[in-house]
Amino acid sequence: MFVALDLQSETPIYAQLVYQLIEGIASGELKSGDPLPSVRSFAEELGINLHTVNKAYTLLKQEGFLQVHRKQGVIVQPGRMPGVTAEFEDKLRHQMRSLAAEAAVRGMSDETFTELCKSVYQNTITKRGENK
Amino acid sequence: MLTNEPWIGFAIMYLLTTLLISVQIYFGQSNRLFGVSIPTEAEQDRVVRRVRWHYTIFVWVCAVIIAGVCFLLARQGDEELRAVCVIIAMLLQVPIMIFGIQWGRRSASRLKEQKGWHVPAETKRVAMIPIGRPRNAMLSIWWFGVHLAIIAACVVIAIVKWDQIPDTLIAHYDLNGVPDRYASKTVGEVFLTNLVQVIMLGIFVFINLVIGKARNALDPNEAEASLQRNLKFKRVNSIFIWFIALVMIVFMGLIQAMELYGLDESMLNSFGMLIPVIIVVSLLGMMIYLKRKGLDQQRDPASDDERHWRIGGGIYYNPDDPALFVPKRYGLGWTINFARPMSWVLVGCIAGIPVIIAVVSLLFGK
């Protein structure tokens, strides 16, 4: 699986990394228990700072998407993925509110908005990358 | 008696290294002119080609002048002067190359300024997370078992034939392949060559390992294709390393055989000449192969920015890049990131190897 970053993007690099790894898990490219590169080698391959990769891994570990083993290194959560928590729902609502508001102001109907949401969701779990 | 053979050998060697130095700038990324980024559409411009062509002519003119002076001096002087001439001629190739490249670099920068070319730095990065078994491009360490077996064979033969080994051994040959220093038969002296073989093999295995670990320079615009190119590029390099290691170790085995069992000494002359020729010719062969397959187009976005290439573009210094090994800015191969402390350790080790070999031969030699 390829991870692509844009250093000039508004989204911070660590966040891009977090999103891409979660997308990889969602699409099934990364499966439960799959090993991920070590912080050092991942940073080397991308040519970015070690701390950036470390930050992304730490966040994903805290959320429960990754596990860090002493022997196996970093792996995709082999057990249950974190479920839908109240915090996540809050975050989702918060992020969607700004998008919904802009869609409404631009005159997009709620059907179209819902359709779009649905197709993005489905694309994410079937064909990765097409909704970008 | 002076034979002409070694001098023909030196002449061939001189021609080959000049050839290598003069054509090296035609290999590697085509959107680089002496390490200066140029727009892709300008790659085949007449002015761009002329900068490269001038360098090639410069190298050859210098080589011919030096060879001519050496030839005139050597014809009049004695043996010692001839040897000095050969060594100086060979060594002079380094400053000529450095000067030529710096000259080319200046011309390239001036041309870029005149034409107002602007090449934006790549802001995208791609890396691959290997799924399943990682794709390793390099020959596995087991391939070097062949070399180890040859070294073992050399040792076993020496043990079996111990009684036939003469009490006085030839320790050193002069430029004409005539023995000029002798040593007595000791365990250290007999097996010294094998020790050097093992050290050499270790270095080659280490290089093979390091190249395998080096970052894959992936182009964000064509990740999969550039990954394939990278892996093939590494594999070809690995095969080359394996081959050169084999040639060197067999060569040292033959030297040992001549020393110990009195194999025909005239063979040494031909082999001594043949080895550098084999190395340079196979290096050229590899370079041409890589170029024809388009594998020399390795673009590494992370080390792409010209700011990080110091001292005439020859030294890579980028504290933001965690990689120790990065593709060279021009030519083929890898260089080190001097912003990593490990690079200094490595340079120290490389500088230390000849010292270690010298110490080892002092300790065991006599």
For the residues B325-341, what does the mean pLDDT come to? 87
The Cβ of residue B239 has, within 10 Å, a number of other Cβ atoms equal to 15
For the residues B96-114, what does the mean pLDDT come to? 92
pLDDT of residue A130: 44
CB contact under 8 A, B127 and A3: yes
Measure CB to CB from residue A50 to each of B218, B322, B324 and give the nearest one.
B322
Give the contacts of B166 (CB within 8 A, at least 6 positions apart). Answer: B185, B260, B262
Q: From the CA of B81, how many Å to the nearest CA of chain A?
A: 51
| ipTM for the whole complex | 0.82
Judge whether A22 is closer than 8 Å to chain B, CB to CB: no
CB-CB neighbors (< 8 A) of A27 in chain B: none
B108-122, B166-180, B265-279: range with highest mean pLDDT: B108-122
Read off the pLDDT of residues A56-73 as tens digits, 9 standing for 90 and up. Answer: 999 999 999 999 988 888
pLDDT bin (cut points 50, 70, 90) of residue B174 is: low
Give the contacts of B125 (CB within 8 A, at least 6 positions apart). Answer: A4, A5, A6, A7, A46, A47, A48, B220, B301, B302
Q: How far is Cα A98 from Cα A100, in angstroms, rounded to an integer?
A: 5
At residue A129, does pLDDT exceed 50? no
pLDDT of residue B213: 86
Give the contacts of B336 (CB within 8 A, at least 6 positions apart). Answer: B316, B324, B325, B326, B343, B346, B347
Give the contacts of A122 (CB within 8 A, at least 6 positions apart). Answer: none
Q: How far is Cα B67 from Cα B49, in angstroms, rounded to an integer?
A: 27
Six token digits for residue A72: 């196996």
Helices A110-126 and A86-105 pack at an angle, to 10 degrees, of: 130
Nearest to A9 by CA among B186, B105, B124, B75: B124
Give the contacts of B91 (CB within 8 A, at least 6 positions apart). Answer: none
Q: From the CA of B283, how many Å to the nearest CA of chain A?
A: 28
% chain B with pLDDT above 70: 93
Q: How far is Cα B196 from Cα B360, in angstroms, rounded to an integer?
A: 9
pLDDT of residue B276: 84
For the residues A2-26, what does the mean pLDDT come to? 93
Give the contacts of B325 (CB within 8 A, at least 6 positions apart). Answer: B210, B211, B213, B214, B215, B334, B335, B336, B337
For the residues B266-272, what does the mean pLDDT come to? 69
pLDDT bin (cut points 50, 70, 90) of residue A100 is: very high
Give the contacts of B298 (CB within 8 A, at least 6 positions apart). Answer: B28, B29, B217, B226, B229, B230, B233, B327
Read off the pLDDT of residues B30-70 as tens digits, 9 standing for 90 and up. Answer: 888 998 888 888 888 899 999 999 999 999 999 999 999 98
For the residues B122-142, what does the mean pLDDT come to? 84
Six token digits for residue B273: 């000449």
E-assigned strand segments in A27-128:
66-69, 73-76
Residues forming a β-bridge with A3? B127
Q: How far is Cα B156 from Cα B162, in angstroms, rounded to an integer?
A: 10
The DSSP string of B30-85 is TTEETTEE--GGGTT-HHHHHHHHHHHHHHHHHHHHHHHHHHHHHHHS-HHHHHHH
pLDDT of residue B177: 63
pLDDT bin (cut points 50, 70, 90) of residue B268 is: low
Do the Cβ atoms of B261 and B164 come closer than 8 Å?
Answer: yes
Do the Cβ atoms of B302 and B215 come closer than 8 Å?
Answer: yes
pLDDT of residue B355: 83
Judge whether A33 is closer than 8 Å to chain B, CB to CB: no
pLDDT of residue B73: 84
Q: How far is Cα B11 from Cα B247, in angstroms, rounded to an integer?
A: 21
Q: From the CA of A44, how many Å to the nearest CA of chain B?
A: 5
pLDDT of residue B74: 79
Residue type, A13: I
Query: In chain B, which residues touch A (CB < 8 A)?
Result: 123-131, 215-216, 218, 220, 223-224, 300-303, 320-324
pLDDT of residue A48: 92
Nearest to B158 by CA among B259, B260, B265: B260
Read off the pLDDT of residues A39-49 as tens digits, 9 standing for 90 and up. Answer: 998 999 999 99
Do the Cβ atoms of B125 and B302 come closer than 8 Å?
Answer: yes
Q: From the CA of B326, how many Å to the nearest CA of chain A?
A: 10
CB-CB neighbors (< 8 A) of B324 in chain A: 44
pLDDT of residue B1: 36
CB-CB neighbors (< 8 A) of A34 in chain B: 131
CB contact under 8 A, B323 and A24: no
Residue type, A53: V
Read off the pLDDT of residues A19-43 as tens digits, 9 standing for 90 and up. Answer: 999 999 998 889 898 999 999 989 9
Is B135 strand, coil or helix? Answer: coil
Dmax over CA atoms of chain B, in Å, equals: 76
Residues forming a β-bridge with B325? B336
